[in-house]
Each structure stands twice: as structure tokens, then as C-alpha cells.
């Protein structure tokens, strides 16, 4: 924004920062009060909710009239999420597949374990996690081999799904044989093999999983690229990333996030807002974004260039994420999905992952409650 304003000194752009936790509610309050911003950054889940409320300006006309802009220069999977009925409502800033397994290179070296490849599978993960899990004389875990909050990856990679149709979901699909098997493998890492901490154990640990990883209490962390800025600040800590392991029965598939810049319908000067959106998603802007390590740029040229794939900043294996985009699965396109997942699915699955309930006991309720909320579509 600062660089763009230097080239356009007669135009003032006010940049407002809002914490993620209160972002959606603040924007909705401002829309209702007639004080909405002109442009917002909308991640994939928030986009669906706001689109359903008719909050966004359609951008296709700007794109068609602008010979210097092409949506084809962005990764197709993320661009298509912000396109509804062939109408574009957002220009992608980043794409965020949950495809990273961060690993502590020193722990691998000390135990004579080869670094994970991008083609490893669940069996390889379990084998390595067992070797890296450290217990005291009484069997209490001092270091876990692996942890990831992304249970969705185990469902998706095994050929399962969260819903019947991502673009037009009508039913929860977590009760399919493939989905059940993925959920059970994830739970077995915690309950049977004891190489991953249970949700309740994370609360008792007194620190987040990122800090557990940085302090050697966790050997591998499955997450997204956004862990990178904090890890880079840890002096003397040697780490890298590998692609999240696939099911032995299927192939890579990852849950994914991402963000786009969208113009609200209430914007009084859409043409000027479009120029700002172009600046925010330009090669120059995305090179700055890429250099932070916080997010994977959605512009293909930047993702493949010196600021990302060819950069020698950690993690060195950033090019893996460009490949991972091919296997990205975005959240179901439904205005209630965040509520369904966070308030109905996750709490019940946590009972299973904590060993407090059996999968067959909780799945009927997850499916029934989820299906009921899915009927309330837009």
C-alpha cells in the first residue's frame, strides 16, 4: 500500500488491522452501520459467508476491461474458490494447503533417521514417529514424534470426504468407510501408538504446539506455511518441511485455506478500489508477502520465482507447496460450514481423539446435526 501511494500521491489509502478472531463480526457490524470498508481480505470460509449475504461486488467486468490483468496468472484452484457461477468476486492473495510437516533436523540426525521425502505415506510417518517419541522410565512421554490438528487430511487422503459435494454440499460424508478409516488412523496415533498428544494433553502441556516443536518436545508438526515466521526467529534451530504423508491406499489430498481481496458493494468508488486490489495482488506485492514466509503467493510467477521456490530462506523445500496446490481441497461452499465444523464436528471428534467416546457413538450425531444445518443454504 505504501509503495502504491508513492506512485499515486493524490489518493489516500487507509490500512486497518483487525485481529483474526474478531474480524468477521467487526466487518458485519460496520456493514450494518453503514461504515463498511471498501476492500476486505476474505479467507475461504469467510468469503462464502459474506458472499451468501450479497456483500461483494462482482469483479468480472473490471477484469474484462483491463488488458493488463489476467486471472489465469493465479493458481486455478484458489481462484476458482472465489468465482461463483463464472463471476469473480475476489482476487487471491495467497493459497494455504495444510500440506507441511515441519521436522526437527537435529532430532533426525541424532537418531540416524533419513529426512522424510515428499512421497512418504502414513506407514512411514508412524515408523518415524515411533522412533522419535521419547518416554521416561515410567512410560510418560517426554517428546512426541508427531502432531497435527489437520485430521481432515487423513480423511481426504484416504479417499474420504467431509461432504458429498464441496461446491453444493447437502450431506455430511464422514461416515463413509474411507472417512472412518482416516479418522481411526489419526486417533490411533494418539491412543494406540501414543506418538501424538491428545487434545486434552495439549491443554495440560501449558504451551502451544509451535513452542513444543521449537523446544524439542515435538519432533514433527503438521500444519501450514504460516508457522514459518516464528520458526525463522529461533536462532540455531535447524528445520525444514516435507509434504504431508498420503494414505497407502490413495494419494495426496490436503484441506486448504487461502485469502482474496474483495470489494464490498457499498464501496463508493469501485474503479479506484479495483486499482488498489490490483496493487495488492501485483507481483511486487506478492514478492514482499513471499519474503516473509507467512503465506504462499497465489501468483504462479512469484510462487515459482526467486522470492519463494528458489529462495534460500527456510524452509528450503517451499517448492513442495507449489506441487501441493494441485491436491488442495477447499472447505465446503456453504454459509454454515464454519459453524458446522467448529461447533458440531470438532467437539465430538475431540471426544473420540481423547479416548472418551467411540467413533460409532459420535458419528450419527455429527451426521444428523450437520445435515440439518446444510439444509439451510443461502
Instruction: Output the domain CATH number for residue 238.
Output: 3.40.190.10
The answer on pLDDT for 378 being more than 60 is no
Helices (H), the chain: 2-7, 20-32, 44-52, 60-65, 76-81, 105-110, 122-132, 151-157, 177-191, 199-205, 209-214, 228-232, 270-280, 283-292, 300-303, 319-324, 337-339, 346-353, 359-374
Domain identity same for 283 and 203: no
Does the N-terminal peptide bond of residue 315 adopt cis geometry, omega within 30 degrees of 0? yes
Residue 7 and residue 70 in one domain: yes
Report helix, strand and coil shares of the chain as percent, to nearest 5. 45, 15, 40
Which of 308, 279, 297, 228 is CA-nearest to residue 15? 279
What pLDDT sits at residue 19? 87
Q: Report whether pLDDT(205) > 60.
A: yes
166 φ, ψ to 5°? -60, -40
Indicate whether 144 and 287 sit together in one domain.
Answer: no
Confidence bin at 204 (pLDDT 50/70/90): confident
Number of independent structural domains in the chain: 2
Same domain for 272 and 236:
no
| pLDDT on residue 203 | 87
119 — pLDDT class (breaks 50, 70, 90) = very high
> Residue 331: its pLDDT value, please?
97
**For residue 12, pLDDT beyond 60:** yes
Asked whether residue 17 falls in the same domain as residue 153, the answer is no
Give the domain range for residue 147: 100-251+336-374
Same domain flag for 285 and 186:
no
pLDDT reading at 127 higher than 90: yes
Say if residue 107 is in the same domain as residue 217. yes
167-173 mean pLDDT: 96
pLDDT value for 376: 79
- Looking at the chain, the whole-number percentage of residues with pLDDT higher than 70 is 99
Q: How far apart are CA 178 and CA 152, in angstroms?
A: 12
Residues 242 and 285 in one domain: no
Question: Strand order of the sheet with strand 239-243?
Answer: 147-148, 220-223, 100-104, 239-243
- In the prediction, which pLDDT does 22 show? 87
- Tell whether 273 and 244 lie within a shared domain: no
Same domain membership, residue 92 and residue 197 = no
Q: What is the mean pLDDT of the chain?
A: 96
* Domain match, 104 and 166 both: yes
Q: Is the pLDDT of residue 51 over 70?
A: yes
Euclidean distance between CA atoms 180 and 240, whole angstroms: 31
Model confidence band, residue 20 (pLDDT cutoffs 50, 70, 90)? confident
> How many CB atoms neighbour CB 47 within 10 A?
26
pLDDT digits (tens, 9 = 90+) for 237-288: 999 999 999 999 988 999 999 999 999 999 999 999 999 999 999 999 999 9
Task: Please say if the pLDDT value at position 153 is more than 70.
Answer: yes
Q: What DSSP string describes 64-87?
A: HH-TT--GGGB-HHHHHHTEETTE
Place 81 in a pLDDT band, splitting at 50, 70 and 90.
very high
Q: Is the pLDDT of residue 377 over 80?
A: no
Looking at the fold, whether 232 and 369 belong to one and the same domain comes out as yes
Amino acid at each position: 500500500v505504501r509503495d502504491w501511494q508513492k506512485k499515486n500521491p493524490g489518493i489516500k489509502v487507509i490500512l486497518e488491522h483487525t485481529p483474526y478472531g474478531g474480524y468477521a463480526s467487526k466487518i458485519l457490524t460496520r456493514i450494518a452501520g453503514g461504515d463498511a470498508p471498501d476492500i476486505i481480505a476474505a479467507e475461504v470460509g469467510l468469503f462464502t459467508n459474506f458472499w451468501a449475504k450479497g456483500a461483494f461486488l462482482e469483479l468480472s467486468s473490471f477484469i474484462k476491461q483491463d488488458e493488463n490483468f489476467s486471472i489465469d496468472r493465479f493458481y486455478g484452484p484458489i481462484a476458482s474458490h472465489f468465482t461463483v457461477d463464472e463471476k469473480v468476486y475476489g482476487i487471491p492473495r495467497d493459497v494455504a494447503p495444510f500440506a507441511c510437516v515441519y521436522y526437527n533436523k537435529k532430532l533426525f540426525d541424532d537418531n540416524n533417521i533419513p529426512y522424510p521425502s515428499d512421497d512418504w505415506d502414513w506407514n512411514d510417518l508412524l515408523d518415524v514417529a515411533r522412533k522419535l517419541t521419547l518416554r521416561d522410565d515410567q512410560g510418560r512421554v517426554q517428546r512426541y514424534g508427531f502432531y497435527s490438528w489437520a485430521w481432515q487430511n487423513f480423511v481426504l487422503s484416504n479417499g474420504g470426504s467431509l461432504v458429498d459435494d464441496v461446491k453444493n454440499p447437502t450431506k455430511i460424508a464422514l461416515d463413509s468407510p474411507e472417512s472412518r478409516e482416516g479418522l481411526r488412523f489419526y486417533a490411533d496415533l494418539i491412543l494406540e501408538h501414543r506418538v501424538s498428544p491428545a487434545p486434552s494433553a495439549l491443554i495440560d502441556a501449558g504451551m502451544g504446539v509451535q513452542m513444543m516443536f521449537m523446544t524439542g518436545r515435538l519432533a514433527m508438526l503438521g500444519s501450514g506455511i504460516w508457522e514459518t515466521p516464528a520458526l525463522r526467529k529461533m536462532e540455531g534451530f535447524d528445520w525444514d518441511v516435507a509434504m504431508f504423508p498420503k494414505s497407502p491406499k490413495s494419494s495426496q489430498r490436503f484441506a486448504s485455506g487461502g485469502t482474496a481481496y474483495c470489494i464490498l458493494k457499498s464501496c463508493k468508488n469501485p474503479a479506484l478500489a479495483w486499482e488498489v486490489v490490483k496493487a495488492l495482488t501485483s507481483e511486487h506485492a506478492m514478492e514482499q508477502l513471499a519474503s516473509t514466509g507467512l503465506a504462499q503467493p497465489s501468483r504462479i510467477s512469484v510462487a515459482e520465482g526467486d522470492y519463494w521456490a528458489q529462495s534460500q530462506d527456510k524452509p528450503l523445500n517451499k517448492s513442495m507447496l507449489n506441487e501441493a496446490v494441485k491436491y488442495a481441497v477447499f472447505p465446503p461452499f456453504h454459509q454454515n460450514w464454519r459453524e458446522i465444523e467448529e461447533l458440531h464436528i470438532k467437539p465430538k471428534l475431540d471426544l473420540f481423539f481423547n479416548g472418551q467416546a467411540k467413533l460409532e457413538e459420535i458419528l450419527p450425531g455429527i451426521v444428523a446435526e450437520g445435515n440439518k444445518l446444510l439444509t439451510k443454504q443461502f
